[in-house]
Amino acid sequence: MCPTIFHIDVNSAYLSWTAIEYLKKGADEDLRDIPCIIGGDRESRHGVVLAKSIPAKRFGIRTGEPVVNALKKCPDLRMERPDHKLYARYSRQMMNLLKDYTPDIEQLSIDECFLDFTGIAYRFSDPIEGAFDIKNRIRDELGFTVNIGISTNKLLAKMASDFEKPDRVHTLFPKEMPEKMWPLPVSELYMAGRSSVEVLRKLEIRTIGELAKADPNFLSLHLKSHGRTLWEFANGIGDDIVRSEAEEAKGIGNSITLSRDAETAEEARKVLLSLSESVGRRLRKAQKKAGMVSVEIRYANFRNVSHQAILDTPSQADSVIYKAACRLFGELWSGEPIRLLGIRTAKLHEEDVPLQMNLFDYMEEKKKDEKHQKLDQALDEIKKKFGDDAVFRGTLMDGK
Protein backbone atom coordinates (compact mmCIF):
# COMPACT_ATOMS: atom_id res chain seq x y z
CA MET A 1 0.00 0.00 0.00
CA CYS A 2 1.31 3.45 -0.91
CA PRO A 3 1.79 5.53 2.26
CA THR A 4 -0.36 8.57 2.91
CA ILE A 5 1.20 11.22 5.13
CA PHE A 6 -0.44 14.32 6.64
CA HIS A 7 1.49 17.41 7.73
CA ILE A 8 -0.58 19.35 10.27
CA ASP A 9 0.46 22.95 10.95
CA VAL A 10 -1.31 25.36 13.32
CA ASN A 11 -2.12 28.69 11.67
CA SER A 12 -0.19 31.44 13.49
CA ALA A 13 -0.03 29.24 16.56
CA TYR A 14 1.24 31.61 19.23
CA LEU A 15 -1.19 34.35 18.27
CA SER A 16 -4.15 31.97 17.87
CA TRP A 17 -3.57 30.34 21.24
CA THR A 18 -3.18 33.72 22.96
CA ALA A 19 -6.37 34.99 21.30
CA ILE A 20 -8.35 31.95 22.44
CA GLU A 21 -7.16 32.38 26.03
CA TYR A 22 -8.16 36.06 26.05
CA LEU A 23 -11.62 35.23 24.65
CA LYS A 24 -12.12 32.62 27.36
CA LYS A 25 -11.41 35.34 29.93
CA GLY A 26 -14.05 37.64 28.42
CA ALA A 27 -12.07 39.78 25.97
CA ASP A 28 -14.19 41.96 23.67
CA GLU A 29 -12.03 41.48 20.60
CA ASP A 30 -10.28 38.58 18.92
CA LEU A 31 -6.57 39.28 18.48
CA ARG A 32 -6.73 37.40 15.18
CA ASP A 33 -9.05 40.10 13.77
CA ILE A 34 -6.83 43.12 14.51
CA PRO A 35 -3.20 44.05 13.66
CA CYS A 36 -1.42 42.11 16.38
CA ILE A 37 1.86 40.27 16.90
CA ILE A 38 3.39 37.99 19.52
CA GLY A 39 6.92 38.89 20.57
CA GLY A 40 9.09 41.72 21.71
CA ASP A 41 8.50 44.64 24.04
CA ARG A 42 6.86 47.91 22.98
CA GLU A 43 8.79 50.09 25.46
CA SER A 44 12.26 48.75 24.67
CA ARG A 45 11.32 48.03 21.02
CA HIS A 46 13.52 44.93 21.22
CA GLY A 47 12.82 41.41 20.02
CA VAL A 48 11.41 39.86 16.89
CA VAL A 49 7.96 39.00 15.56
CA LEU A 50 7.14 35.41 16.59
CA ALA A 51 3.62 35.34 15.13
CA LYS A 52 1.31 37.78 13.38
CA SER A 53 -2.38 38.16 12.61
CA ILE A 54 -3.70 38.32 9.05
CA PRO A 55 -4.51 42.07 9.47
CA ALA A 56 -0.88 42.60 10.59
CA LYS A 57 0.32 40.72 7.53
CA ARG A 58 -1.54 43.23 5.35
CA PHE A 59 0.83 45.92 6.67
CA GLY A 60 3.75 43.88 5.35
CA ILE A 61 4.76 42.57 8.78
CA ARG A 62 6.75 39.32 8.55
CA THR A 63 7.50 36.62 11.07
CA GLY A 64 11.11 36.87 12.24
CA GLU A 65 11.56 40.58 11.53
CA PRO A 66 12.59 43.01 14.31
CA VAL A 67 9.72 44.47 16.33
CA VAL A 68 11.02 47.99 15.67
CA ASN A 69 10.43 47.45 11.93
CA ALA A 70 6.93 46.11 12.55
CA LEU A 71 6.03 49.20 14.60
CA LYS A 72 7.18 51.47 11.78
CA LYS A 73 4.84 49.66 9.40
CA CYS A 74 1.91 49.80 11.85
CA PRO A 75 2.26 52.27 14.76
CA ASP A 76 -1.03 51.09 16.30
CA LEU A 77 0.12 47.48 16.28
CA ARG A 78 -0.91 45.51 19.36
CA MET A 79 1.87 43.47 20.91
CA GLU A 80 1.61 40.51 23.29
CA ARG A 81 4.48 38.82 25.05
CA PRO A 82 4.94 35.08 24.49
CA ASP A 83 3.61 32.59 27.05
CA HIS A 84 5.33 29.27 26.39
CA LYS A 85 3.50 27.39 29.14
CA LEU A 86 0.22 28.34 27.50
CA TYR A 87 1.48 27.20 24.10
CA ALA A 88 2.63 23.86 25.50
CA ARG A 89 -0.85 23.27 26.96
CA TYR A 90 -2.63 23.90 23.66
CA SER A 91 -0.06 21.81 21.81
CA ARG A 92 -0.74 18.86 24.15
CA GLN A 93 -4.47 19.26 23.59
CA MET A 94 -3.98 19.01 19.83
CA MET A 95 -1.68 16.00 20.09
CA ASN A 96 -4.14 14.23 22.38
CA LEU A 97 -6.94 14.86 19.87
CA LEU A 98 -4.81 13.47 17.04
CA LYS A 99 -4.11 10.34 19.08
CA ASP A 100 -7.84 9.61 18.87
CA TYR A 101 -7.06 8.78 15.23
CA THR A 102 -3.67 7.05 15.38
CA PRO A 103 -0.55 6.79 17.57
CA ASP A 104 1.60 7.18 14.44
CA ILE A 105 2.42 10.85 15.01
CA GLU A 106 5.79 12.57 14.72
CA GLN A 107 5.84 15.97 16.40
CA LEU A 108 8.22 18.38 14.68
CA SER A 109 7.69 21.36 16.94
CA ILE A 110 5.13 22.74 19.34
CA ASP A 111 2.76 23.62 16.49
CA GLU A 112 3.32 21.06 13.73
CA CYS A 113 3.50 17.33 13.24
CA PHE A 114 3.31 14.50 10.73
CA LEU A 115 0.53 11.91 10.95
CA ASP A 116 0.66 8.57 9.12
CA PHE A 117 -2.84 8.21 7.67
CA THR A 118 -2.07 4.91 5.93
CA GLY A 119 -3.25 2.65 8.74
CA ILE A 120 -6.58 4.46 9.23
CA ALA A 121 -7.40 5.14 5.57
CA TYR A 122 -10.09 2.43 5.59
CA ARG A 123 -12.20 4.59 7.93
CA PHE A 124 -12.72 7.32 5.31
CA SER A 125 -13.75 7.51 1.68
CA ASP A 126 -10.44 9.22 0.82
CA PRO A 127 -7.58 11.10 2.55
CA ILE A 128 -9.21 14.49 1.91
CA GLU A 129 -12.29 13.47 3.91
CA GLY A 130 -10.03 12.30 6.73
CA ALA A 131 -8.07 15.56 6.71
CA PHE A 132 -11.24 17.66 6.84
CA ASP A 133 -12.52 15.56 9.73
CA ILE A 134 -9.31 16.23 11.70
CA LYS A 135 -9.11 19.90 10.74
CA ASN A 136 -12.73 20.64 11.62
CA ARG A 137 -12.53 18.81 14.96
CA ILE A 138 -9.49 20.89 15.95
CA ARG A 139 -11.33 24.08 14.97
CA ASP A 140 -14.64 23.16 16.66
CA GLU A 141 -13.28 21.53 19.83
CA LEU A 142 -10.07 23.47 20.48
CA GLY A 143 -10.91 26.81 18.86
CA PHE A 144 -7.98 27.27 16.47
CA THR A 145 -7.34 26.39 12.84
CA VAL A 146 -4.74 24.29 11.09
CA ASN A 147 -3.59 23.62 7.56
CA ILE A 148 -3.19 20.00 6.52
CA GLY A 149 -0.97 18.91 3.63
CA ILE A 150 -1.44 15.44 2.14
CA SER A 151 1.03 13.38 0.10
CA THR A 152 2.96 10.13 -0.12
CA ASN A 153 5.97 11.42 1.83
CA LYS A 154 6.76 13.97 4.52
CA LEU A 155 8.50 16.46 2.24
CA LEU A 156 5.58 16.87 -0.15
CA ALA A 157 3.04 16.86 2.68
CA LYS A 158 4.92 19.73 4.34
CA MET A 159 5.14 21.64 1.06
CA ALA A 160 1.38 21.18 0.58
CA SER A 161 0.48 22.51 4.02
CA ASP A 162 2.27 25.77 3.15
CA PHE A 163 -0.09 26.48 0.27
CA GLU A 164 -2.95 28.96 0.79
CA LYS A 165 -3.82 29.61 4.46
CA PRO A 166 -5.62 29.52 6.88
CA ASP A 167 -7.90 26.57 7.68
CA ARG A 168 -7.22 24.67 4.45
CA VAL A 169 -6.51 21.15 3.20
CA HIS A 170 -4.15 20.73 0.23
CA THR A 171 -2.79 17.73 -1.63
CA LEU A 172 0.57 17.47 -3.37
CA PHE A 173 0.90 13.98 -4.78
CA PRO A 174 3.85 13.24 -7.12
CA LYS A 175 1.63 13.52 -10.22
CA GLU A 176 0.57 17.03 -9.09
CA MET A 177 4.11 18.38 -8.76
CA PRO A 178 4.44 19.79 -12.32
CA GLU A 179 1.27 21.85 -11.84
CA LYS A 180 1.35 22.76 -8.15
CA MET A 181 5.01 22.85 -7.12
CA TRP A 182 7.35 23.26 -10.07
CA PRO A 183 6.09 26.75 -11.12
CA LEU A 184 6.87 28.12 -7.62
CA PRO A 185 9.98 30.25 -6.97
CA VAL A 186 12.88 28.11 -5.80
CA SER A 187 12.84 30.07 -2.52
CA GLU A 188 9.58 28.26 -1.68
CA LEU A 189 11.33 24.88 -1.63
CA TYR A 190 11.92 23.31 1.76
CA MET A 191 15.52 23.88 2.96
CA ALA A 192 16.28 26.42 0.21
CA GLY A 193 17.79 29.21 2.31
CA ARG A 194 18.78 32.67 1.13
CA SER A 195 22.38 31.81 0.35
CA SER A 196 21.38 28.73 -1.66
CA VAL A 197 18.73 30.67 -3.55
CA GLU A 198 21.30 33.34 -4.42
CA VAL A 199 23.68 30.71 -5.83
CA LEU A 200 20.84 29.14 -7.83
CA ARG A 201 19.82 32.57 -9.15
CA LYS A 202 23.37 33.08 -10.46
CA LEU A 203 23.03 29.70 -12.17
CA GLU A 204 19.78 31.01 -13.77
CA ILE A 205 17.65 28.57 -11.78
CA ARG A 206 14.64 30.50 -10.55
CA THR A 207 11.80 27.98 -10.20
CA ILE A 208 11.52 24.64 -8.45
CA GLY A 209 10.85 23.05 -11.83
CA GLU A 210 14.10 24.40 -13.27
CA LEU A 211 15.92 23.02 -10.24
CA ALA A 212 14.24 19.62 -10.68
CA LYS A 213 15.46 19.41 -14.29
CA ALA A 214 19.03 20.54 -13.52
CA ASP A 215 22.01 18.18 -13.42
CA PRO A 216 22.52 17.13 -9.76
CA ASN A 217 26.28 16.74 -10.31
CA PHE A 218 26.43 20.32 -11.59
CA LEU A 219 24.51 21.50 -8.51
CA SER A 220 26.91 19.63 -6.22
CA LEU A 221 29.83 21.54 -7.71
CA HIS A 222 28.30 24.80 -6.55
CA LEU A 223 26.39 23.79 -3.39
CA LYS A 224 28.22 20.60 -2.32
CA SER A 225 25.99 17.91 -0.79
CA HIS A 226 23.22 20.45 -0.20
CA GLY A 227 22.88 20.88 -3.96
CA ARG A 228 21.91 17.22 -4.44
CA THR A 229 19.56 17.43 -1.45
CA LEU A 230 17.75 20.38 -3.00
CA TRP A 231 17.58 18.57 -6.34
CA GLU A 232 16.02 15.54 -4.62
CA PHE A 233 13.48 17.75 -2.84
CA ALA A 234 12.60 19.52 -6.09
CA ASN A 235 11.85 16.09 -7.56
CA GLY A 236 9.69 15.12 -4.59
CA ILE A 237 12.16 12.60 -3.14
CA GLY A 238 11.70 12.38 0.62
CA ASP A 239 11.26 10.20 3.69
CA ASP A 240 7.88 8.49 4.17
CA ILE A 241 8.51 7.09 7.68
CA VAL A 242 6.62 8.81 10.50
CA ARG A 243 8.67 8.35 13.67
CA SER A 244 6.30 8.18 16.60
CA GLU A 245 7.01 9.20 20.19
CA ALA A 246 7.75 5.59 21.13
CA GLU A 247 10.60 5.48 18.62
CA GLU A 248 11.86 8.91 19.63
CA ALA A 249 12.06 7.72 23.25
CA LYS A 250 14.83 5.32 22.19
CA GLY A 251 17.19 8.27 21.81
CA ILE A 252 18.70 10.88 24.11
CA GLY A 253 18.88 14.52 23.12
CA ASN A 254 18.58 18.15 24.14
CA SER A 255 17.66 21.42 22.46
CA ILE A 256 17.57 25.08 23.37
CA THR A 257 15.61 28.08 22.13
CA LEU A 258 18.07 30.95 21.99
CA SER A 259 17.35 34.24 23.75
CA ARG A 260 18.88 35.97 20.74
CA ASP A 261 19.15 34.55 17.23
CA ALA A 262 22.56 33.07 16.42
CA GLU A 263 23.85 34.61 13.20
CA THR A 264 27.38 33.20 12.96
CA ALA A 265 28.88 29.71 12.94
CA GLU A 266 30.97 30.61 16.00
CA GLU A 267 27.86 31.48 18.01
CA ALA A 268 26.21 28.23 16.93
CA ARG A 269 29.26 26.13 17.83
CA LYS A 270 29.23 27.51 21.38
CA VAL A 271 25.64 26.31 21.73
CA LEU A 272 26.48 22.95 20.16
CA LEU A 273 29.31 22.54 22.67
CA SER A 274 26.97 23.05 25.60
CA LEU A 275 24.39 20.68 24.11
CA SER A 276 27.04 18.03 23.40
CA GLU A 277 28.16 18.09 27.01
CA SER A 278 24.55 17.82 28.20
CA VAL A 279 23.76 14.90 25.90
CA GLY A 280 27.04 13.15 26.70
CA ARG A 281 26.36 13.48 30.43
CA ARG A 282 22.88 11.96 30.00
CA LEU A 283 24.28 9.08 27.94
CA ARG A 284 26.84 8.30 30.64
CA LYS A 285 24.18 8.47 33.34
CA ALA A 286 22.04 6.01 31.34
CA GLN A 287 25.14 3.85 30.68
CA LYS A 288 24.53 4.07 26.94
CA LYS A 289 26.60 4.79 23.85
CA ALA A 290 25.11 6.39 20.75
CA GLY A 291 25.59 5.08 17.25
CA MET A 292 23.93 8.04 15.54
CA VAL A 293 23.93 11.82 16.05
CA SER A 294 21.48 14.30 14.55
CA VAL A 295 21.38 18.10 14.60
CA GLU A 296 18.20 20.17 14.42
CA ILE A 297 18.02 23.83 13.42
CA ARG A 298 14.98 26.07 13.73
CA TYR A 299 15.42 29.32 11.83
CA ALA A 300 14.06 32.70 12.85
CA ASN A 301 11.12 32.13 10.47
CA PHE A 302 10.34 28.90 12.42
CA ARG A 303 11.35 26.60 9.57
CA ASN A 304 12.87 23.38 10.94
CA VAL A 305 15.64 21.35 9.31
CA SER A 306 17.65 18.40 10.58
CA HIS A 307 20.52 16.18 9.48
CA GLN A 308 21.91 12.95 10.91
CA ALA A 309 24.97 10.73 10.60
CA ILE A 310 26.11 7.32 11.81
CA LEU A 311 29.21 7.40 14.04
CA ASP A 312 32.18 5.23 13.08
CA THR A 313 32.05 3.74 16.59
CA PRO A 314 29.25 4.15 19.17
CA SER A 315 30.28 6.70 21.79
CA GLN A 316 29.17 8.67 24.84
CA ALA A 317 32.09 11.13 24.72
CA ASP A 318 31.28 14.85 24.61
CA SER A 319 34.06 15.52 22.10
CA VAL A 320 32.87 12.82 19.68
CA ILE A 321 29.29 14.09 19.82
CA TYR A 322 30.49 17.68 19.40
CA LYS A 323 32.67 16.91 16.36
CA ALA A 324 29.82 15.06 14.69
CA ALA A 325 27.37 17.86 15.52
CA CYS A 326 29.70 20.54 14.10
CA ARG A 327 30.17 18.55 10.90
CA LEU A 328 26.41 18.07 10.51
CA PHE A 329 25.77 21.74 11.27
CA GLY A 330 28.27 22.79 8.59
CA GLU A 331 26.49 20.63 6.01
CA LEU A 332 23.00 21.77 7.06
CA TRP A 333 23.10 25.48 7.91
CA SER A 334 21.82 27.81 5.20
CA GLY A 335 23.31 30.94 6.75
CA GLU A 336 19.96 32.20 8.06
CA PRO A 337 19.54 33.43 11.68
CA ILE A 338 19.01 30.53 14.09
CA ARG A 339 16.29 30.48 16.76
CA LEU A 340 16.78 26.94 18.13
CA LEU A 341 19.52 24.31 18.08
CA GLY A 342 19.20 20.70 19.12
CA ILE A 343 21.29 17.53 19.27
CA ARG A 344 19.75 14.07 19.44
CA THR A 345 21.43 10.70 19.65
CA ALA A 346 19.91 7.36 18.65
CA LYS A 347 20.85 3.75 17.91
CA LEU A 348 21.81 3.37 21.56
CA HIS A 349 23.97 0.51 22.83
CA GLU A 350 24.79 -0.62 26.36
CA GLU A 351 28.15 0.94 27.21
CA ASP A 352 29.78 -2.44 27.95
CA VAL A 353 28.63 -4.22 24.78
CA PRO A 354 31.75 -5.41 22.87
CA LEU A 355 32.31 -4.03 19.37
CA GLN A 356 33.11 -6.10 16.31
CA MET A 357 36.59 -5.05 15.13
CA ASN A 358 40.07 -6.47 14.78
CA LEU A 359 42.28 -6.72 17.87
CA PHE A 360 44.52 -3.75 16.97
CA ASP A 361 41.57 -1.44 16.30
CA TYR A 362 39.85 -2.70 19.43
CA MET A 363 42.83 -1.88 21.66
CA GLU A 364 43.28 1.57 20.09
CA GLU A 365 39.58 2.32 20.42
CA LYS A 366 39.56 1.06 24.01
CA LYS A 367 42.46 3.36 25.00
CA LYS A 368 40.81 6.33 23.32
CA ASP A 369 37.45 5.55 24.89
CA GLU A 370 38.91 5.17 28.38
CA LYS A 371 40.70 8.51 28.00
CA HIS A 372 37.46 10.26 26.97
CA GLN A 373 35.52 8.51 29.72
CA LYS A 374 37.91 9.55 32.51
CA LEU A 375 37.95 13.16 31.33
CA ASP A 376 34.18 13.37 30.91
CA GLN A 377 33.51 11.72 34.27
CA ALA A 378 35.90 14.12 36.00
CA LEU A 379 34.18 17.10 34.40
CA ASP A 380 30.77 15.68 35.34
CA GLU A 381 31.86 15.59 38.98
CA ILE A 382 33.19 19.16 38.86
CA LYS A 383 29.97 20.44 37.33
CA LYS A 384 27.87 18.47 39.79
CA LYS A 385 29.73 20.10 42.67
CA PHE A 386 30.28 23.63 41.38
CA GLY A 387 27.68 24.06 38.60
CA ASP A 388 27.68 23.81 34.80
CA ASP A 389 29.60 27.06 34.38
CA ALA A 390 32.56 25.80 36.41
CA VAL A 391 34.27 24.32 33.35
CA PHE A 392 34.74 25.75 29.88
CA ARG A 393 36.38 23.41 27.40
CA GLY A 394 37.65 25.92 24.90
CA THR A 395 39.71 23.33 23.00
CA LEU A 396 36.48 21.81 21.79
CA MET A 397 35.52 25.03 20.10
CA ASP A 398 37.74 24.20 17.18
CA GLY A 399 36.53 20.61 17.12
CA LYS A 400 39.89 19.34 18.42
Annotated catalytic residue, options 65, 80, 106, 112: 112
Contact 208, 181 (CB under 8 A): yes
Distances from the Cα of 24 to the Cαs of 13, 98, 110, 137, in angstroms?
A: 17, 23, 21, 19
Active-site residue, 112 included: yes
What is the three-state SS of the chain? CCCCEEEEEECCHHHHHHHHHHHHCCCCCCHHHCCEEECCECCCCECECCEECHHHHCCCCCCCCEHHHHHHHCCCCEEECCCHHHHHHHHHHHHHHHCCCCCCEEEEECCEEEEECHHHHHHCCCHHHHHHHHHHHHHHHHCCCEEEEEECCHHHHHHHHCCCCCCCEEECCHHHHHHHCCCCEHHHCCCCCHHHHHHHHHCCCCEHHHHHCCCHHHHHHHHHHHHHHHHHHHCCCCCCCCCCHHHHCCCEEEEEEEEEEECCHHHHHHHHHHHHHHHHHHHHHHCEEEEEEEEEEEECCCCEEEEEEEEEEEECCHHHHHHHHHHHHHHHCCCCCEEEEEEEEEEEEECCCCCCCCHHHHHHHHHHHHHHHHHHHHHHHHHHHHCHHHCCCHHHHHCC
Which positions are catalytic?
A: 112
